[in-house]
Chain A
Amino acid sequence: MKASVISLGWHTIRKSTYGYSVGIAVYILFLAWVYPSLATNPAVTRLLSNLPPVLLKLAGVSSNFSTYTGYLSGEFYSVIDIWIIMWFVTMEAMHLVGTPRQNHSLQWWLSSPISRSTWMLGQFLALALALVFLTGATMASEILGAWWFNGGHVYWSGMIWLNLVALFTGVLIAGYSMVFLAWVPTVTLPLTITLIFYAMNLIGGMAPHLGFLSTLSIFGVYQPSLIAAGAVPTLSAILAFILGSAILAWLASLVFARQDLTL
C-alpha cells in the first residue's frame, strides 16, 4: 500500500472533515455550556420525566442529566452524532470513489502504477482516517467542555467506549458504501441501505414485538445511554465491526478490480 494513495484520499476529503469537526466541537461546547443550568433545574428534569420515553428516544433527548457523559450521550450521541457519521461517511465515500468515476478524473490516478485494489483500499483507509479525526475532535471537545464548564468531570470509560462504537459503526458504513460505489458510482445505494438500517433500529426500539429489527441493524449495538453507563459489553461489537469492515473493504477492492471503466 502506497502512503501517497491514502494521502491523496485524505487531501480530497480533508476540508469537509475539518468542517464537520468544527461543527461537532461547537455543538458539544454549546451543550457543555448549558449543561450546568439544565442539570440543576428541577423543572426541566420534571418535564422530561413526564414525557413518553418513545418520544424522547425519537427526539434524541435524554432525561438522564445526572452525569455530564450521560447527558451528552442523550443530547449528542444518540441522534446528532450518528446522523453526522451516516451522512459524512456516505457523502465522503462518494467524493472519494463515485465522483472521480463520474467526472472521469479517476483516469489520472489509475494511469499511475498502482493497482485498482490498492486504490480502493487507500480510499477506504483515508475515509477511516477522517473518521478517526472526527472522533478525536468529538472527544477533545467533550473533554474541553467538561474542563471549561463542568469542573473537569468526565466519565472516561463511558466516553471512550461510546466514541469507539461510533467510530467503528462509521467504518462499517464506509465498508459497504465502498462496495456499492465500486459497483455503481452513485450515492443512492449506500445512503438507502444506511437509512434502512437506521429505520430498522428505530422501529425495533419503539415496537417490542419487532425488536429483532434492531438486532439485525448495524445501529442495534449503538445504544449511547447504555454504553456511556457501561451497561452493555461493547468490545465484542467493536471487534465484529472491525472484522466486518475489513471483509467489506476487501470485497470493494475485488469488485472495483473487475469493473469496466469507461473513463
Chain B
Amino acid sequence: MRTGRSSGIALVIKLEHLTKTFSDRGGIRDITLSISEGEVFGYLGPNGSGKSTTIRCLIGLLKPERGTVAIHGLDPWKKPETLHQLVGYLPGEVALPDNMTGSQFLGWMRRLREPANGGLYAGRLLDRFDLKPEPMIATMSKGTRQKLALVAAFAHDPPIMILDEPTSGLDPVMQQTFIQWIREENSRGKTILLSTHQFTEVERTCHRVGILKQGRLSLVERVDHLRQTSRQIFEVTLGEPRDLRILAGPYLDVAIVNDRTATITINGPINHLIQQLASLPVVSVREITQDLEQAFMEIYQQDEEGPE
C-alpha cells in the first residue's frame, strides 16, 4: 500500500489494523489510516469495497474484529455517547422515520442531543439547502429526504463530520451548494471524512484520498499528488509529417492523431520521452491533465493487473 503523510499535527481519527469481516467474505481487512484535525479526507471505492463498514466501525455501530478505532482517542464501541457529541454522521442509506414530519424529526434530534443546542445552526442549514421540513417525511421526495438527513446529521454543528455518500439524490445545484458548504465547514476548522462515488466532490473538497479495494486500503495519497503521479499523457506535435509510431516502446504508448501529432502515454520516467523526442523536429509538447476519476481508474487497473 502506498501512503501519503497527513499534513496536520493533531490526529482526530485513527484506525489501526482495523478488521471486520462478514460471512459473505465482505468487510474490511487490516485498515490503517489517520486523519488530522482540519483535514477533508475522501474515502473512495466501488460498491461493496468496505467504505460503509469502516464508517460503521467509526461510529460504533459495528464492533471491530481486530485492530483499534479512535476518534479523539475515544473508542466508539465503548464510549459512543461521549463521541457522538463531537461527531455528526450522515448514513449512506438514508432511512428516516416515516411516522413524523421533518420538523418533528429535527426537534427530536435536538432534544436527544441536549444540552448541545443546534437550533441556530440548524436554521442556517435549512436556509442553505432550501429545505422546508414541515411535510410528513413519508411524502418527501428522495432529494428532500437527503437534505433533511444532512440538516439532521449536522444540526449540532459538530467539529467532526462523517458523511457516507452525501450527495446521493441531490440535484446538480444542491450538489454544488453541498460542495461549497463542505469547503466552508472545513475553513471553520472541521475535520471531514467523506465517502463518495462523486469524483468532482473529492477533487473540489478533499485534501487526501484513501482508495479501498476489496476491503483493503489500496492507497492513501494527497489529491494533488495523485494527479501528478498518475500516468502522464502528452500531446506531441512535429513541424513536419513523420511516423510517430516509431516512438512506441516498453515505456511509451503512442496513439496517432494525425501525420504530425500523437498522444503519448508514459509508463515510467519522463526521460524516456525526452530522449526519444530529442532527434525529432518537435513544435509543441502539451501535457494532457488527468482528472481524479482517470487516476482512480488507472490505480484500479494497475491493482487488477498486479499481484494481490
Q: Is the CB of B97 within 8 A of A105?
A: yes
* In the complex, chain B residues whose CB is within 8 Å of the CB of A260: 61-63
Q: Is the CB of B62 within 8 A of A5?
A: no
Q: Compute how far the CA of A160 lies from the CA of B93 in the bound complex, rounded to whole angstroms.
A: 48
Q: How many residues of A contact B (CB 8 A)?
A: 27
* In the complex, chain A residues whose CB is within 8 Å of the CB of B59: 111
Q: Compute how far the CA of A75 lies from the CA of B105 in the bound complex, rounded to whole angstroms.
A: 42
Q: Is the CB of A5 within 8 A of B112?
A: yes
Mask: chain B, 167-190; 1 = CB below 8 Å from A; 0 = not: 000000000000000000000000
For chain A, residues 104 to 138, give those with C-beta under 8 angstroms from any C-beta of chain B: 104-105, 107-116, 118
| A223 touches B (CB below 8 Å) | no
Mask: chain A, 236-263; 1 = CB below 8 Å from B; 0 = not: 0000000000000000000000101111
| A100 touches B (CB below 8 Å) | yes
* In the complex, chain A residues whose CB is within 8 Å of the CB of B100: 11
Shortest C-beta distance, A243 to chain B (Å), equals 28
* In the complex, chain B residues whose CB is within 8 Å of the CB of A110: 61, 80
Shortest C-beta distance, A42 to chain B (Å), equals 52
Q: Compute how far the CA of A194 lies from the CA of B96 in the bound complex, rounded to whole angstroms.
A: 31
Q: Is the CB of B62 within 8 A of A261?
A: yes
* In the complex, chain B residues whose CB is within 8 Å of the CB of A4: 108, 111-112, 114
| A8 touches B (CB below 8 Å) | yes
- With A4-B112, A107-B61, A260-B63 already in contact, the answer to whether A113 and B85 are too (CB < 8 A) is yes
For A2, the closest partner residue in chain B by CB is B112
Q: Is the CB of A113 within 8 A of B81?
A: yes
Q: Compute how far the CA of A11 lies from the CA of B91 in the bound complex, rounded to whole angstroms.
A: 23
For chain A, residues 1 to 16, give those with C-beta under 8 angstroms from any C-beta of chain B: 2, 4-5, 7-8, 11-12
| A103 touches B (CB below 8 Å) | yes
For A114, the closest partner residue in chain B by CB is B81
Q: Is the CB of A108 within 8 A of B62?
A: no
Q: Compute how far the CA of A107 lies from the CA of B97 in the bound complex, rounded to whole angstroms.
A: 10
Q: Is the CB of A8 within 8 A of B108?
A: yes
| B260 touches A (CB below 8 Å) | no
Q: Compute how far the CA of A113 lies from the CA of B80 in the bound complex, rounded to whole angstroms.
A: 7
Shortest C-beta distance, B165 to chain A (Å), equals 14
Mask: chain A, 92-103; 1 = CB below 8 Å from B; 0 = not: 000000001001
For B152, the closest partner residue in chain A by CB is A108
Q: Compute how far the CA of A260 lies from the CA of B64 in the bound complex, rounded to whole angstroms.
A: 9
Mask: chain B, 78-98; 1 = CB below 8 Å from A; 0 = not: 001110110111010101111
Q: Is the CB of B91 within 8 A of A104?
A: yes
| B231 touches A (CB below 8 Å) | no
Shortest C-beta distance, A82 to chain B (Å), equals 28
| B109 touches A (CB below 8 Å) | yes
Q: Is the CB of B111 within 8 A of A105?
A: no
Shortest C-beta distance, B224 to chain A (Å), equals 33
Q: Is the CB of A113 within 8 A of B113?
A: yes
Of the residues B82, B87, B96, B111, contact of A7 by C-beta under 8 Å: B111
Q: Is the CB of B109 within 8 A of A112?
A: yes
Q: Is the CB of B95 within 8 A of A105?
A: yes
Q: Compute how far the CA of A261 lies from the CA of B105 in the bound complex, rounded to whole angstroms.
A: 21
* In the complex, chain A residues whose CB is within 8 Å of the CB of B17: none
* In the complex, chain B residues whose CB is within 8 Å of the CB of A104: 91, 93, 95
Q: Compute how far the CA of A108 lies from the CA of B91 in the bound complex, rounded to whole angstroms.
A: 9
Shortest C-beta distance, B142 to chain A (Å), equals 15
Q: Is the CB of A113 within 8 A of B82?
A: yes
Q: Compute how far the CA of A98 lies from the CA of B162 in the bound complex, rounded to whole angstroms.
A: 26
Q: Compute how far the CA of A225 lies from the CA of B56 in the bound complex, rounded to whole angstroms.
A: 53
For chain B, residues 48 to 78, give those with C-beta under 8 angstroms from any C-beta of chain A: 56, 59, 61-63
Shortest C-beta distance, A164 to chain B (Å), equals 31
Of the residues B88, B91, B112, B113, contact of A263 by C-beta under 8 Å: B91
Q: Is the CB of A107 within 8 A of B95?
A: yes
Of the residues B56, B84, B116, contact of A262 by C-beta under 8 Å: B56
For chain B, residues 84 to 141, give those with C-beta under 8 angstroms from any C-beta of chain A: 84-85, 87-89, 91, 93, 95-100, 105, 108-109, 111-114, 116
Q: Compute how far the CA of A262 lies from the CA of B59 in the bound complex, rounded to whole angstroms.
A: 11
Of the residues B63, B82, B99, B112, contact of A112 by C-beta under 8 Å: B112
Mask: chain A, 72-93; 1 = CB below 8 Å from B; 0 = not: 0000000000000000000000
18 additional A-B residue pairs with CB within 8 Å, beyond A11-B108, A112-B84: A2-B114, A4-B111, A11-B100, A100-B97, A104-B95, A105-B95, A105-B96, A105-B97, A107-B89, A107-B95, A108-B105, A109-B108, A110-B80, A112-B112, A113-B81, A113-B113, A113-B116, A115-B81
Q: Interface on B for A, CB 8 Å cutoff?
A: 56, 59, 61-63, 80-82, 84-85, 87-89, 91, 93, 95-100, 105, 108-109, 111-114, 116, 152-153
Q: Interface on A for B, CB 8 Å cutoff?
A: 2, 4-5, 7-8, 11-12, 100, 103-105, 107-116, 118, 258, 260-263
Shortest beta-carbon contacts, A-B, top 8: A104-B95, A112-B112, A4-B111, A113-B84, A105-B97, A261-B61, A113-B85, A115-B81
Subset of 8 A-B contacts with CB under 8 Å: A4-B114, A103-B95, A109-B112, A111-B87, A111-B89, A113-B81, A114-B84, A261-B61
